Chains A and B, each alone.
Chain A
């Protein structure tokens, strides 16, 4: 059994056109809305960053101006910091000669005849004592302060007694 369509062909076409029109209008509107939202977003972002940039620029200039008012303090701080470092470094690196000499003075058994001192370098000491054991004892005493102590020469003279030449290295 077959169906009989009583609607005319024109009417069918019109219905199709109406359906297409609805779809096109809806789709176009949807795309337009998305486009407008996107463009608004981009423009909004541009406006936001532009106005923020202007505000930051103005605040930065103001801050620089204010910092300029403290330029004297800044110079003093920079100088005091640099000078403090110089002072600390100088004191730390000067290898006290007074301390090095005071070590030699502590031992009463010997007498210092000569002392060649170079800061952070080799130290040569000439000593005299009543007997060589005291000089060897002095060398042993120096080993507490120096990495290498060498008794280079030991001699005797009737005027000065026993004389020892020592070399100390840190």
Chain B
């Protein structure tokens, strides 16, 4: 009888090993893969929890206010009417008169005799908001003041070029670019990390804190 014991034990072990291999669930390679998946899931959960903690700490109202201020500086669409208001306001403050402007601004048509808008550029989605403006008879000091006033206003304006002359009929032609950028898309994966926004936002807000929002200036 005792001879059967090792035989039965061997058969039991062989069948057991065969089951472990053929069942698929508990084979060593499957277990190794499963362990990797568990590790990956653990990391993902840690990232999600971390993100959740950050989201809970965010002052939503303050962030919205910050966003509103930043959108004032760089609007999400081509706000040509605001750019023209800025150019007018800068001219008034510097005591110089804006006599005309033209540019490729998209679909917006200004109700002004001097305005020439290239509507064919409406399809150019990424085209910069660019205007060429002309001021009448400024002295150089007035022009400097006009440029200074213009660069202190929001939405942000970049003076791309200036052509000033006192000879002949004194005038100044200025090419300006209004800041704008559409909303950018971002990763919708719930585990995607949130950007470290606080320092970046504070830095940006400090750069525009002394600037004037043209929409708050009475016409």
B179, CB-defined interface residue at 8 Å? yes
Judge whether B9 and A31 touch: CB under 8 Å: yes
Judge whether A115 and B20 touch: CB under 8 Å: no
**A144 to B45, alpha carbons, bound, how many Å?**
58
Which chain B residue lies CB-closest to A93?
B158
Which chain B residue lies CB-closest to A63?
B48
Judge whether B31 and A81 touch: CB under 8 Å: no
Q: Decide: A86 near B74, CB < 8 A? Known: A24-B6, A113-B166, A119-B158.
A: yes
A118 CB contacts on chain B under 8 angstroms: 160-161
Judge whether B34 and A53 touch: CB under 8 Å: yes
Q: Decide: A91 near B208, CB < 8 A? Known: A86-B74, A105-B141.
A: yes
Judge whether B5 and A28 touch: CB under 8 Å: yes
Q: Decide: A87 near B2, CB < 8 A? Known: A57-B41, A73-B63.
A: no
Judge whether A98 and B147 touch: CB under 8 Å: yes
Judge whether A56 and B25 touch: CB under 8 Å: no
Contacts between chains A and B (CB distance < 8 A), count: 212
**A77 to B186, alpha carbons, bound, how many Å?**
11
**Chain A 149-168, CB within 8 Å of chain B: the 1/0 string?**
00000000000000000000
Interface residues of A in 56-111 (CB under 8 A from B): 56-57, 59-60, 63-64, 66-68, 70, 72-74, 76-88, 90-91, 93-98, 101-102, 104-105, 111
B28: shortest Cβ distance to chain A, in Å? 8
Judge whether A21 and B55 touch: CB under 8 Å: no
By size class, the interface of chain B is 35 or more
A49, CB-defined interface residue at 8 Å? yes
Judge whether A112 and B164 touch: CB under 8 Å: yes
Report which B residues bind A (CB closer than 8 A): 2-3, 5-6, 9, 12-13, 16, 20, 25-26, 28, 31, 34-35, 37-38, 41-42, 44-45, 48-49, 51-52, 55-56, 58, 60, 63-64, 66-67, 70-71, 73-74, 140-141, 143-144, 147-148, 150-151, 156, 158-167, 179, 181, 183-184, 186, 190, 194-197, 200-201, 203-205, 207-208
* Interface pairs (20), CB distance under 8 Å: A25-B2, A25-B5, A25-B6, A46-B34, A53-B34, A60-B41, A63-B190, A73-B60, A74-B55, A76-B67, A77-B195, A81-B196, A82-B184, A83-B71, A84-B200, A87-B70, A87-B204, A88-B200, A113-B165, A116-B161
8 closest A-B pairs by beta carbon, nearest first, are A97-B159, A84-B204, A81-B197, A81-B195, A63-B48, A70-B55, A87-B204, A94-B158
Question: A21-B2, A24-B6, A84-B203 known; 12 other A-B pairs, CB under 8 Å?
Answer: A32-B13, A49-B31, A77-B55, A82-B183, A84-B70, A87-B204, A98-B147, A101-B147, A102-B148, A112-B166, A114-B164, A126-B165
